[in-house]
Amino acid sequence: MAGEHSFFLLDEDKPREACGVFGIYAPGLDVARLTYYGLYALQHRGQESAGIAVGDGELITCRKGMGLVSEVFTEETLSSLKGHIAIGHVRYTTAGDSTIENAQPLTFHYKQGMIALAHNGNLKNYIELRRELSESGAIFQTTSDSELIVNLIARTSTNDLITGILETMKMICGAYSLVLTTGNRLYGIRDPYGMRPLCLGRIGDGYVLASESCALDTIGAEFIRDVQPGEVVIIDENGITSLRPHQRGRYALCVFEFVYFARPDSVIDGLNVQSARYAMGRQLAREYPIDGDVVVPVPDSGTSAALSYASERGLPFSEGLMKNRYVGRTFIRPTQEMRDLAVRLKLNPVRERLAGKRIILIDDSIVRGTTSGKIIQMIREAGAKEVHMLVSSPAVTHGCHYGIDTSKKGELIAASYSVEEICKYIGADSLHYLSLSGLHAALASFKSEDLCDACFCGKYPI
Amino acid sequence: MAGEHSFFLLDEDKPREACGVFGIYAPGLDVARLTYYGLYALQHRGQESAGIAVGDGELITCRKGMGLVSEVFTEETLSSLKGHIAIGHVRYTTAGDSTIENAQPLTFHYKQGMIALAHNGNLKNYIELRRELSESGAIFQTTSDSELIVNLIARTSTNDLITGILETMKMICGAYSLVLTTGNRLYGIRDPYGMRPLCLGRIGDGYVLASESCALDTIGAEFIRDVQPGEVVIIDENGITSLRPHQRGRYALCVFEFVYFARPDSVIDGLNVQSARYAMGRQLAREYPIDGDVVVPVPDSGTSAALSYASERGLPFSEGLMKNRYVGRTFIRPTQEMRDLAVRLKLNPVRERLAGKRIILIDDSIVRGTTSGKIIQMIREAGAKEVHMLVSSPAVTHGCHYGIDTSKKGELIAASYSVEEICKYIGADSLHYLSLSGLHAALASFKSEDLCDACFCGKYPI
Amino acid sequence: MAGEHSFFLLDEDKPREACGVFGIYAPGLDVARLTYYGLYALQHRGQESAGIAVGDGELITCRKGMGLVSEVFTEETLSSLKGHIAIGHVRYTTAGDSTIENAQPLTFHYKQGMIALAHNGNLKNYIELRRELSESGAIFQTTSDSELIVNLIARTSTNDLITGILETMKMICGAYSLVLTTGNRLYGIRDPYGMRPLCLGRIGDGYVLASESCALDTIGAEFIRDVQPGEVVIIDENGITSLRPHQRGRYALCVFEFVYFARPDSVIDGLNVQSARYAMGRQLAREYPIDGDVVVPVPDSGTSAALSYASERGLPFSEGLMKNRYVGRTFIRPTQEMRDLAVRLKLNPVRERLAGKRIILIDDSIVRGTTSGKIIQMIREAGAKEVHMLVSSPAVTHGCHYGIDTSKKGELIAASYSVEEICKYIGADSLHYLSLSGLHAALASFKSEDLCDACFCGKYPI
Amino acid sequence: MAGEHSFFLLDEDKPREACGVFGIYAPGLDVARLTYYGLYALQHRGQESAGIAVGDGELITCRKGMGLVSEVFTEETLSSLKGHIAIGHVRYTTAGDSTIENAQPLTFHYKQGMIALAHNGNLKNYIELRRELSESGAIFQTTSDSELIVNLIARTSTNDLITGILETMKMICGAYSLVLTTGNRLYGIRDPYGMRPLCLGRIGDGYVLASESCALDTIGAEFIRDVQPGEVVIIDENGITSLRPHQRGRYALCVFEFVYFARPDSVIDGLNVQSARYAMGRQLAREYPIDGDVVVPVPDSGTSAALSYASERGLPFSEGLMKNRYVGRTFIRPTQEMRDLAVRLKLNPVRERLAGKRIILIDDSIVRGTTSGKIIQMIREAGAKEVHMLVSSPAVTHGCHYGIDTSKKGELIAASYSVEEICKYIGADSLHYLSLSGLHAALASFKSEDLCDACFCGKYPI
């Protein structure tokens, strides 16, 4: 979850994913260390904070901090986390609320002992539920919906935790992939719409849960299957138990996982992310066979689509923009006078690839449009004759009800301006977005109604 | 409060105080900075963690960390704490539970907004109350009784916070001095027994609450009066409102505040701490007019009593033990082989003051006796002919029900051994403790039944 | 320079570059901040330490620390560096000698004031020169050849610094690109062989020196020209003065700058690095037209050559190995039991691109061969039918006399084993290196004798 | 040494000592850890930086940092310092030059290997010697005279180090106590005037050198004797060798060691520091038998003299000013508006001891007079009827040629104003300084010509 319910944060001109979660039940293995590596593989899903909670059958010990996984944990802290169950979490940077209180996993004492939870997603009825709980005297240390979920589970676990989880799932509504442990059991929960990914793997005699399959690969675990929408997976010494308490609603996996969020080497609900992006590039080629000399991606987000676009069209592909590999979060931002440097610090045009050429520039999405404009200006200054911009997903016209801060909706350029206006604003010779039907064609392994594409069309699944 | 309910922690051979609290309501002043200096004056009451929460009428912002006040706060963090109300807290080091989660102030969202609380004391019925709350679905992030208090207040504040506070005071039982803010009001609360000190002062047009008056002096505030046992003080734009909802029970101020905890320059419930210690030294002189050549204190705890003992007896006073002024908390402890260094790192005998002399060694208390034994050995090695030890308070024979970890009771040397046995154990030529009646004589401004002296006699006030 | 004269360090199976240098003379601009961004663009040349020294006409102030540029500098330290001349340095991680003493710039007081120096390169006659100086009573704080250079300059500057620099250039022999400042002048010096790159640019009314042109681009400076081999450039209020005191020897730019070290968007001595790499890939296609289904690079080092190889051959290019973008220096290494994870943490195969295919795997170089072997194993496990490895540079058979630690020479796999043996060791179906003549063909803008290719053939230029 | 040659730094209204040094040769013992504890005992001589260099017979490893000994060293750094010889250093805070470059020990490579040095003192002919060395081409990383000394030793050690040391001692002139190691031998050197203390002790089969004997006591070493003025002590596997190469000049131990610098439990050149201070207090009582009600010290510097003054006069002694025991270096200073708090943060008057009384206030010295004025004001505000100030040393009228920054001389209040004027400035009812002859009487174990008292009378020994 994101404390501020901010899903599309536009600072870097890309939507922002919420979080990555990881869980492991593996007696005999160093579960803290494996969680460390698993989170490291999920680092792209969140760079603000990282945390690991380990259970040894009774106690749960938790360590978390601000920053990258590699910054938060030391050999010493990892070594201090002993047990056979672990859950972990990485959280995305969101403006203004970057405090340790919001780092996860959250750990709580409740009447039956301790509980630790890591959450990816956002609740739609957070405010109502929190108001209700507050009325009955509950207090909260954070503004996160994750803390709310634990409160609900604690209140409804009159007899046992499972009952509490199932009751809570009836009450909450929205996107959530959860991993949870009581110190002797590991739970994986995916909301009935399956909005956020969650998959299950095997390592030795144990089991692993992760937001993306790349985390399984990284620690050498074998992929078993995706957790199903509305499914509760319980892992303990008896192996895996699966509960499917709820009528399945509409399956509505977030399509932006394929467009931008997930790592290309992950497979989500049966589809490899890179394959999806290659297909989007090919579809783009069919829809917009632009006459150009060279296909150039905005690295790294546009690379996959640009490769397949170039291949489909038989055009040369060139790395015409070089990305500084050391772009990091603690970077000192340029002062006002040096503002023009901001994009150059991240990207540098390669004149030899661009000068005198008609450039087909490809990116995966445009949110605010400010960065795109600066990139196109740099490409022109490097001598390009023409710059045609292609976007391998449709225009983002609607806020996300499962996360976006609605006050920011005005920042969605495509919500307020036409494609022609945006083209002019970013200074391109032409601009084209992949059509929504083209996106669905590229993701043909999914029925179109099984994906949430509300940010492109406004049809909200819930 | 102390998470582990550990009041007498014997590591350093002294009882350990719980905490220091501070609060200020002062529109127009830099309340965060004044709280910083106030906590700095209260640093002797707790060195484990420090924190400040500031309210600006709506929001409460809190910063806390492990270590001394001067280590936790920087110019930058202080500057970020804007508002007109602040509360602060310093917490004592207790074994094994030294984590940031237990640092205070605690801040919570409850149904009417935010609340921040700082607590000095320990509840007697913590376990029962927590069990009750857990049964009704409450969850806890810490094991502290402070978090419990906020939960109780939130649940009972059906109409307003005052009602909640008064209801909560009916339910909780034990020692507590609390400062609390909702961001627009400052509250000071002292338990009906007045076990922990809390005083009230004026600064400009504003008001200050503090565990000890030395914090008022340090920031230039004027002492008004002590908060009364069972009193709730409410400070806002209307000035001070005082509620005395409860029948006053037995007044039972902790006598160890005068023996050891408080700073000599503080005045608690009408008595200056240094005056009390001087009186204890004089009383000791009357009870035990030992025949010696020189009076030597164990610095700094025994200095006041030693000065008045020497003066009363007409004997020379000498600083025969020199204390290293840089003794600090992050010090690397000697290895097993170097174990004998442990005391020398802190204290060094001055041979010129000791050799060939009959030493009257004075300390304020003995808890485990291990340090006393090592000091006496050093004094003998420096050439003393005799070492007579006098203690300016009675023997600690009983655990503290308002804090002590009962599993540690076995460590109270006087609970298990006679004075003769302790004398032998520490290697003194003679050993004498101030009598309980002598202690009361020294604290004659209090009726004897108005002080809690249970650790000396087992008569628990609650 | 690298303290230990370690050029090819094989830990990561790549040769290690020495350092990056940057200098700026620009009254009126924030030279410290511009140096920060310049070093940020040169970060790939060294991640161990970073430093900036600023001169204000009289005093030189220096700040340096271990880690990345973004880790070493804060807004506060940058703001404290006031002046109109700055030099900066990034240093590569070398085993065992990673201490702050070796961080640069080095600053010294000498008879005419202060001097600060940043050095990229290695002296061949370091040991002899240091012995001589020691005999005459000189003392050294480090084992770096950079400190030696300053000593030589100080001793030979009988009248003025220029004389000292020119005399020193007569004495030292090896690779060096130096930036140096006395607080009122900026000097750029490139060794007579031009072994390490150094270029000159203009920003406003000021001038910039940098190891690579990408640093000029990043700060918005305009490229003027490369500093010539054996040239001394002097920049002050009179503009640029150029001295060419020495007979030019053999021009011998290190060819590994094009193979691996430099950033693709840089232009060195007239040739764009990415163009060079594309040409190497094309040449590789001509020499080894392997029959395969898909061309896969080892990211990021093999990407450029793989793209041009695929294009030249008309074969599909695929990102079949996904690199974790958060690979960092403080990463906790896997334990022995988890050893197999080491490569997976960095690279993950994309099964969808590899399964059932004949893979043409392309990297820029192989040093020890251990990583290559693990990558090929991963690709086979992902289902590849065949794996043919192509290397876009010749086999590294000789140590580097201008840096390499000769004790490590045994680690150069191609120094001891034939191509067939290496092919078997790494488990490839076939293995081919670009021929030396092919490399020269790819770098046709240089006369072959103007490049140092000693590591491939043993013909040392000095 | 102090980089800036600043001896009397007046910020805290006390002169500032230069440094503390420690050395140990003890095969079989953990010399780094013992040095840590030794430096900890010498912490009062310098709080700016701390460092330890350890030799194992060949290599010297050094660790140093800014701050207190307990802040600079961790268990990990201590454990990494392996060997049988160690030297250590603590350096005093001096304004504006508080950088890691000036931290000691300094380590250098010279022609015969490595050398590490720690220095307490200041050279008088530093500037001339440095100019000479610079002329011959030497370079310096710091402005410290310690680096100069190593340079001189390196240049004059044509055959062996001893020759170099003896030659260097002929050239340098001023105050210096040095410990030095080549990794297999430990050297202790005291200047021919014996201006700074240095003593020798035994621990097991090994030996210890320290600025003060309290460091020997702390680590359990036995005091042997003081190193003699002009003596060079060499310690290695052959035991102790002593060289006395120079004609002894005038013995001129700095009298301020007894007045303020040294720890009361140390014995310097035969005299216990506390005994000296008690004698000064008694002498003060003879010279100025003021009619007062109570004797109050400025803690801690005035405590010893106040105790003996009160005892000699038969007057009561009271701790009328309470010092905050947590006064530390990283403390956030009050803003301008809160300026009046500055003294209260450190000292708080105890009204009960002061109100209605005639106070005899005793301190060891007055340098600028600003703090004294504020203390007297606080005492008056606490209700004192009269405040008579007594100073247990003569007025500081002259700068120190062996350290003081002459630009600061104007800050010596007694250099510019009469006692009457100072009395008025600080607001006392009367003010008296101990007479110079009285000081000598108190230090009667020394011939008056064997002490440097130039700061009181201007008679410089060199």
- Digit-coded pLDDT (tens) for B208-263: 999 999 999 999 999 999 999 999 999 999 999 999 887 666 789 999 999 999 99
Which residues of chain D neighbour B330 with C-beta distances below 8 Å?
Answer: 70-71
pLDDT in tens, A76-111: 889 999 999 999 999 985 544 567 788 999 999 998
pLDDT in tens, D236-255: 999 999 998 876 667 899 99
Give the per-residue pLDDT at A406. Answer: 37
Largest CA distance in chain D: 73
Q: Does the distance separating the beta carbons of A109 and B141 come in below 8 Å?
A: yes
- Give the three-state DSSP class for A111: coil
Confidence of residue B336 (pLDDT cuts 50, 70, 90): confident
Residue A285, token pair as written in the block: 């080629």
Quick one: average pLDDT of D319-326?
93
Confidence of residue D356 (pLDDT cuts 50, 70, 90): very high
In the predicted model, is pLDDT for residue D298 greater than 60? yes
Contact residues for C387 (Cβ-Cβ < 8 A; gap 6+): C359, C361, C376, C379, C380, C427, C428, C429
Helix H or strand E encompassing C388:
strand C386-391
Residue A231, token pair as written in the block: 């499914």
Count of other CB atoms within 10 angstroms of residue D96: 8
Q: Does the distance separating the beta carbons of D111 and C134 come in below 8 Å?
A: yes
**For the ranges A204-218, B15-29, B313-327, the one whose mean pLDDT is highest:** A204-218
Confidence of residue D410 (pLDDT cuts 50, 70, 90): low
DSSP state of D42: T
pLDDT in tens, A305-346: 999 999 999 999 999 999 998 876 556 777 777 777 878 889
pLDDT in tens, A361-399: 999 998 888 889 999 999 999 999 999 999 999 999 988
Q: Whole-angstrom Cα distance, residue B309 to residue D354?
A: 20
Give the per-residue pLDDT at C8. Answer: 31
pLDDT in tens, D259-273: 999 999 999 999 999
As a whole-number percent, the residues of chain A with pLDDT over 90 amount to 72
Residue B81, token pair as written in the block: 């704490």
Bridge-based pairing state of the strands D430-433 and D386-391: parallel
Burial class (CB in 10 A: 0-12, 13-18, 19+), B96: exposed
Q: Whole-angstrom Cα distance, residue B45 to residue B23?
A: 15
Which residues of chain C neighbour A335 with C-beta distances below 8 Å?
Answer: 30, 33
Q: What is the mean pLDDT of chain D?
A: 89
Give the per-residue pLDDT at A11. Answer: 40
Q: Are B187 and B232 in contact, with CB atoms under 8 Å apart?
A: yes
Which of A279-288, B7-16, C41-50 is predicted least confidently? B7-16
Give Cα D121 to chain centroid, integer Å. Answer: 9
Helices marked H in C67-139 — which ranges?
Answer: 69-72, 75-79, 126-135
The candidate with the shortest Cα–Cα distance to A200, out of A450, A21, A30, is: A21
Candidates A33, A325, A338; nearest CB to C44: A325
Which residues of chain D neighbour C139 with C-beta distances below 8 Å?
Answer: 108-110, 115, 150-151, 154
In the predicted model, is pLDDT for residue C428 greater than 60? yes
Q: Does the distance separating the beta carbons of C111 and D140 come in below 8 Å?
A: no
Count of other CB atoms within 10 angstroms of residue D220: 16
Residue A123, token pair as written in the block: 């609740």
Q: Are B154 and B140 in contact, with CB atoms under 8 Å apart?
A: no
Q: Position A351: which residue type?
A: R
CA distance D3 to chain C (A): 14
Confidence of residue D98 (pLDDT cuts 50, 70, 90): low
Contact residues for A239 (Cβ-Cβ < 8 A; gap 6+): none
Q: Which has more confidence, B420 or C411?
A: B420
Q: Whole-angstrom Cα distance, residue A150 to residue A165?
A: 9
Which residues of chain A neighbour C350 with C-beta distances below 8 Å?
Answer: 264-265, 272, 274
Q: Whole-angstrom Cα distance, residue A374 to residue A366?
A: 13
Q: Whole-angstrom Cα distance, residue B13 to residue B365?
A: 9
Task: Give chains near D: 3+ CB pairs under 8 A.
Answer: B, C
Give the per-residue pLDDT at D102. Answer: 82
Confidence of residue B352 (pLDDT cuts 50, 70, 90): very high
For the annotated catalytic residues of C, the residue numbers are 19
Q: Whole-angstrom Cα distance, residue B406 to residue B209?
A: 32
Give the per-residue pLDDT at B104. Answer: 94
Candidates B30, B264, B303; nearest CB to D350: B264
Q: Which has more confidence, A219 or C332?
A: A219
Candidates D40, D328, D330; nearest CB to B324: D40
Which residues of chain D neighbour B300 with C-beta distances below 8 Å?
Answer: 325
Quick one: average pLDDT of B153-170?
91
Q: What is the mean pLDDT of chain A?
A: 89
In the predicted model, is pLDDT for residue B89 greater than 90? yes
Q: Which positions in chain B have a beta carbon within 8 angstroms of at least one beta carbon in chain A? A: 100, 106-111, 115, 131, 134-141, 143, 150-151, 154-157
In the predicted model, is pLDDT for residue A169 greater than 60? yes
Task: Give chains near C: 3+ CB pairs under 8 A.
Answer: A, D
Q: Which positions in chain C have a beta carbon within 8 angstroms of at least one beta carbon in chain D? A: 100, 106-111, 115, 131, 134-143, 150-151, 154-157
Quick one: average pLDDT of A27-56?
95
Quick one: average pLDDT of C440-444?
97
Q: Does the distance separating the beta carbons of C108 and D135 come in below 8 Å?
A: no
Q: Whole-angstrom Cα distance, residue A189 to residue A207?
A: 14
Which residues of chain B neighbour D40 with C-beta distances below 8 Å?
Answer: 324, 326, 331, 345
Give the per-residue pLDDT at C4. Answer: 28
A·B CB contacts under 8 A: 67
Give the per-residue pLDDT at A203. Answer: 97
Give the per-residue pLDDT at C370. Answer: 82
SS (H, E, C) chain B: CCCCCCCCCCCCCCCCCCEEEEEEECCCCCHHHHHHHHHHHCHHHCCCEEEEEEECCCCEEEEEEECCHHHHCCHHHHHCCCCCEEEEEEECCCCCCCCHHHCCCEEEEECCEEEEEEEEEEECCHHHHHHHHHHCCCCECCCCHHHHHHHHHHHHCCCCHHHHHHHHHHHCCEEEEEEEECCCCEEEEECCCCCCCCEEEEECCEEEEECCHHHHHHCCCEEEEECCCCCEEEEECCEEEEECCCCCCCCCEECHHHHHHCCCCCEECCEEHHHHHHHHHHHHHHHCCCCCCEEEECCCCCHHHHHHHHHHHCCCECCCEEECCCCCCCCCCCCHHHCCHHHHCCEEECHHHHCCCEEEEEECCCCCCHHHHHHHHHHHHCCCCEEEEEECCCCCCCCCCCCCCHHHHHHCHHHHCCHHHHHHHHCCCEEEECCHHHHHHHCCCCCHHHEECHHHHCCCCC
Which of A77-86, A146-155, B260-269, D1-10 is predicted least confidently? D1-10
Q: What is the mean pLDDT of chain B?
A: 89
Which of A404-408, B64-68, C292-296 is predicted least confidently? A404-408
- DSSP E strands in A138-280: the ranges are 174-181, 186-190, 199-203, 206-210, 222-226, 232-236, 239-243, 253-254, 267-268, 271-272
pTM: predicted TM-score of the whole model, two decimal places: 0.88
Give the per-residue pLDDT at C325. Answer: 86
Give the per-residue pLDDT at A164. Answer: 94
For the annotated catalytic residues of A, the residue numbers are 19
Candidates B109, B131, B134; nearest CB to A139: B109
In the predicted model, is pLDDT for residue C313 greater than 70? yes
**For the ranges B188-192, B410-414, D111-115, D124-128, the one whose mean pLDDT is highest:** B188-192
Q: Are A263 and A44 in contact, with CB atoms under 8 Å apart?
A: yes
Q: Position B364: which residue type?
A: D
Q: Does the distance separating the beta carbons of A155 and B109 come in below 8 Å?
A: no
In the predicted model, is pLDDT for residue D22 greater than 50? yes
Candidates C134, C142, C143; nearest CB to D110: C134
Give the per-residue pLDDT at B408. Answer: 57
Q: Does the distance separating the beta carbons of A70 and C330 come in below 8 Å?
A: yes
Interface test with B, best of A98, A111, A160 (most B CBs within 10 A): A111
Which residues of chain B neighbour D24 with C-beta distances below 8 Å?
Answer: none
**For the ranges B187-196, C324-333, D74-83, the one whose mean pLDDT is highest:** B187-196
Q: Which residue has the tokens 């060139």?
A: A318
Q: Whole-angstrom Cα distance, residue D392 to residue D358?
A: 19
Give the per-residue pLDDT at B249. Answer: 63
Which residues of chain D neighbour C64 with C-beta distances below 8 Å?
Answer: none
Confidence of residue A181 (pLDDT cuts 50, 70, 90): very high
In the predicted model, is pLDDT for residue D14 greater than 90? no
Q: Whole-angstrom Cα distance, residue A255 to residue A266?
A: 14
Which of B43-52, C292-301, D324-333 is predicted least confidently? D324-333
Quick one: average pLDDT of D181-202?
96
In the predicted model, is pLDDT for residue C200 greater than 80? yes
Q: Does the distance separating the beta carbons of B275 and D345 come in below 8 Å?
A: no
Give the per-residue pLDDT at A9. Answer: 28
Q: Which has more confidence, C380 or A18?
A: C380
In the predicted model, is pLDDT for residue D116 greater than 50? yes
Q: What is the mean pLDDT of chain C?
A: 89
In the predicted model, is pLDDT for residue A188 greater than 50? yes
Give the per-residue pLDDT at C11. Answer: 39
- Give the three-state DSSP class for D409: helix
Give the per-residue pLDDT at A407. Answer: 39
Confidence of residue C97 (pLDDT cuts 50, 70, 90): low
Confidence of residue B405 (pLDDT cuts 50, 70, 90): very low
- Return the percent helix, strand and coil in chain A, to nearest 5: 35, 25, 40
Q: Whole-angstrom Cα distance, residue C50 to residue C78?
A: 13
Which of A283-297, B445-459, C8-22, D213-227 is predicted least confidently? C8-22
In the predicted model, is pLDDT for residue B31 greater than 80? yes
Q: Which positions in chain A have a beta carbon within 8 angstroms of at least one beta carbon in chain B? A: 100, 106-111, 115, 131, 134-143, 150-151, 154-157
Instruction: Give strand pairing partners of C20.
Output: C90
Q: Does the distance separating the beta carbons of A335 and C75 come in below 8 Å?
A: no
Quick one: average pLDDT of A221-231?
96
**Closest residue, chain B, to D323 (C-alpha):** B265
Confidence of residue A12 (pLDDT cuts 50, 70, 90): low
Give the per-residue pLDDT at D387. Answer: 98
Contact residues for A339 (Cβ-Cβ < 8 A; gap 6+): none
pLDDT in tens, A251-273: 899 999 999 999 999 999 999 99
C·D CB contacts under 8 A: 68
Q: Does the distance separating the beta carbons of B139 and A150 come in below 8 Å?
A: yes
Which residues of chain D neighbour C111 with C-beta distances below 8 Å?
Answer: 131, 134-135, 137
Burial class (CB in 10 A: 0-12, 13-18, 19+), D22: buried
Instruction: Give strand pairing partners of D140.
Output: C109
CA distance B223 to chain D (A): 12
Instruction: Give strand pairing partners of B115.
Output: B108
Going across the sheet that includes C60-66, the strands are: C60-66, C49-55, C85-91, C19-25, C206-210, C199-203, C222-226
Bridge-based pairing state of the strands B451-452 and B253-254: parallel
Residue A354, token pair as written in the block: 């661009």
Cis before B300? omega within 30: yes
Give the per-residue pLDDT at B75. Answer: 87
Q: Does the distance separating the beta carbons of B265 and D348 come in below 8 Å?
A: yes
Q: Does the distance separating the beta carbons of C324 and A307 come in below 8 Å?
A: no
Which of B204-218, C320-334, D403-417, D435-449 is predicted least confidently? D403-417
In the predicted model, is pLDDT for residue B93 greater than 60? no
Q: Which positions in chain D have a beta carbon within 8 angstroms of at least one beta carbon in chain C? A: 100, 106-111, 115, 131, 134-143, 150-151, 154-157
CA distance D136 to chain C (A): 7
CA distance B143 to chain D (A): 29
For the annotated catalytic residues of B, the residue numbers are 19
In the predicted model, is pLDDT for residue C10 greater than 70? no
Torsion angle, alpha carbons of D323, D325, D328, D334, to 10: -40
Q: Does the distance separating the beta carbons of C139 and D154 come in below 8 Å?
A: yes
Which of B222-231, B310-319, C40-49 is predicted least confidently? C40-49
